[in-house]
Amino acid sequence: MKLIPVIAIAMTLANSSGARADCIVADPSPTPLNVRTAPYGRIVSTLNNGQVVSILDSSIDNEGRPWVYVADDTGNPLGWVYREYVVCKGETQR
């Protein structure tokens, strides 16, 4: 019975790395979401709406806009995308 709290603590520590799974691309525009080398950096790829991603890092640009560094569903890092176009489990679409 004492293992339950230990397991809960271990799960919390595992999720405290900042990585956030259970997110999907939700770009309101009719085009795919650009993936960049840095916020406002060179476009290296695109993501389609509904694609599953994990957030690995986040940043705020010079104008106060949020960006996130994402990985695909296998954990492969992809690049930076505008945070407002990524919705994670438990959030409402912006």
Show Cβ contacts of residue 85 under 8 Å, excluding neighbours closer than 6 positions: 25, 26, 27, 28, 33
Question: Could you report the per-residue pLDDT of 25-45, keeping only the tens digit for each?
Answer: 999 999 999 999 999 999 999
Classify domain 18-88 by CATH architecture. Answer: Roll (2.30)
The whole-number average pLDDT for the span 6-23 is 47
Q: Is 12 within 8 Å of 40 (Cβ atoms)?
A: no
Average pLDDT, stretch 50-61? 97
Q: Which tokens hold the place of 36? A: 């960049």
Q: What is the pTM of this model?
A: 0.76
Residue whose token pair is 């104008």 = 63
Are 18 and 33 in contact by the 8 Å Cβ rule? The answer is: no
Residue boundaries of the structural domains of the chain: 18-88
What pLDDT is stored for residue 18 in this prediction? 55
